[in-house]
């Protein structure tokens, strides 16, 4: 991701999304299945207002499937349709269209009542950087050439991609910023790689990932790093055992925390620790 968000930039991105919104009937909002809360734009609900929308939880192949089900239920309980996809392996893509069309049933009924000739439903994709917008669009339309701009502010002629005869999709997604100033959110975005690495301390991020695993997925740590199954009280103990096991050591057999941390983060991001969710609907969050 190479977007630097600053107020002027955010303003511009929002205006751009708002102008695209005028052209569409339904919004397809992407959120990372591992961090659905942290990977949403804080203002999106205000921006899209009453327009029909669907939440698509992306990168579901990397998330804990049980937790992903909990998230979908959580959104459905609020009257929001949510589906999950794995664009990497082209799984679940077909349900997006069904879900989006379903959300526009009232609109279509209104057209009928008013005697308006039915047309294809117009949709657009919105999401924060790195959430998987271009991958999803490419996989969905079935070719590698969908050109997707990663920067807000570039104006191109708006084009529509045909998604069968019932739906047209705007070819460029709307890009909005995450709530990155919130430390709870920042930590999670960083763990998934949605924030530039230069901005963070990988050791802190590794601690965070290990902390989540310690609480919910200790067996994944044991397995991945071949650790002995013994009681460990703190994340530091896990961290040090991982470092030792992997030979991330400095002179005098001291743990090389930097190296060990970088390794944990890299392996988590690559899905090598297994399917891990970093956020749950019932997490306590302080506003
Ligand atoms: P965008 O900035 O929202 O357009 O995000 P991209 O589509 O460029 O994706 C960001 C990164 O996530 C890329 O490295 C993709 O390969 C990866 N990615 C996207 N979708 C998936 C998915 O479903 N599964 C996995 N494992 N990785 C994905």
At 250, list the tokens. Answer: 């400095």
What is the 132 CA–ligand 1 centroid distance (Å)? Answer: 4
The answer as to CATH 2.70.98.30 being correct for domain 201-269 is: no
Question: Distance, CA 287 to ligand 1 centroid (Å)?
Answer: 29
Q: Where are the alpha helices (DSSP H) in the chain?
A: 7-21, 44-48, 65-77, 94-103, 105-113, 133-141, 183-192, 202-216, 218-225, 235-245, 257-269
Eight-class DSSP state of 97: H
Q: Residue 111 has what pLDDT? A: 94
CA distance linking residue 153 with residue 162, whole number of Å: 24
Helices of type H across 160-232: 183-192, 202-216, 218-225
Q: First vs last Cα of the chain: how many Å apart?
A: 27
Q: Which of 132, 171, 267 for mutating ligand 1's site (highest number of atoms within 8 Å of CB)?
A: 132
- pLDDT values of the chain reduced to their tens digit, one per residue, 287 residues: 446 788 899 999 999 999 999 999 999 999 999 999 999 999 999 999 989 999 999 999 999 999 999 999 999 999 999 999 999 999 999 999 999 999 999 999 999 999 999 999 999 999 999 999 999 999 988 764 444 444 344 445 668 898 888 999 999 999 999 998 888 999 999 999 998 777 788 999 999 999 999 999 999 999 999 999 999 999 999 999 999 999 999 999 899 999 999 999 999 999 999 999 999 999 987 65
Asked whether 36 and 279 are in contact (CB, 8 A), the reply is yes
As given in the structure block, the two tokens for residue 227 are 């650790």
Backbone angles phi, psi at 230, to 5 degrees: -140, 160
Cα dihedral 218, 224, 230, 233 sign: negative
Is any ligand 1 atom within 6 A of the Cβ of residue 276?
no
Q: Is 135 marked as binding a ligand?
A: yes
Q: Supply the pLDDT for residue 153.
A: 42
- What ligand 1 atom has the least distance to the C-alpha of 131? 3
52, exposed or middle or buried, with CB in 10 Å at 0-12, 13-18, 19+? buried
- CA 122, CA 162: separation in Å to the nearest integer? 10
Q: Is the pTM of this model over 0.90?
A: yes
Q: Is 133 annotated as a binding residue?
A: yes
CA distance 203 to 224: 19
Q: What is the C-alpha R_g of the chain? A: 21
d(CA 266, CA 191): 9
User: In the CATH scheme, what is the code of domain 7-175?
Assistant: 3.40.50.300
Domain regions of the chain by residue span: 7-175, 201-269
Strand 121-127 and strand 174-175: the pairing is parallel
């Amino acid at each position: 991701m190479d977007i630097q968000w600053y107020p002027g930039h955010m303003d511009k991105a929002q205006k751009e999304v708002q102008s695209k919104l005028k052209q569409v009937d339904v919004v397809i909002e992407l959120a990372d299945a591992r961090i659905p809360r942290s990977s949403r734009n804080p203002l999106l609900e205000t921006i899209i207002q009453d327009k029909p929308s669907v939440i698509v939880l992306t990168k579901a192949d990397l998330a804990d499937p049980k937790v992903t089900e909990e998230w979908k239920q959580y959104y459905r309980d609020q009257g929001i349709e949510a589906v999950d996809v794995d664009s990497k392996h082209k799984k679940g893509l077909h349900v997006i269209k069904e879900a989006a069309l379903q959300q526009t049933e009232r609109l279509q009924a209104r057209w009928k009542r008013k005697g308006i000739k039915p047309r294809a439903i117009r949709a657009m994709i919105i999401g924060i950087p790195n959430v998987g917008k271009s991958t999803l669009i490419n996989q969905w339309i079935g070719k590698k050439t969908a050109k997707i701009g990663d920067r807000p502010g570039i104006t191109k002629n708006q084009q529509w991609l045909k998604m069968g005869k019932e739906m047209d999709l705007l070819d460029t997604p709307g890009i909005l910023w995450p709530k990155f100033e919130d430390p709870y959110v920042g930590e999670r975005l960083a763990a998934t790689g949605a924030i530039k690495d230069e901005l963070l301390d990988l050791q802190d991020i590794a601690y965070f990932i290990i902390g989540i695993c310690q609480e919910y997925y200790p067996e994944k740590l044991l397995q991945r790093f071949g650790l002995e199954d013994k009681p460990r009280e703190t994340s530091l103990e896990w961290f040090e055992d991982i470092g030792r096991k992997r030979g991330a050591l400095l002179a005098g057999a001291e743990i090389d925390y930097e190296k060990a941390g970088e390794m944990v983060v890299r392996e988590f991001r690559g899905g090598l620790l297994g399917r891990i969710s970093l956020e749950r609907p019932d997490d306590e969050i302080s506003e």
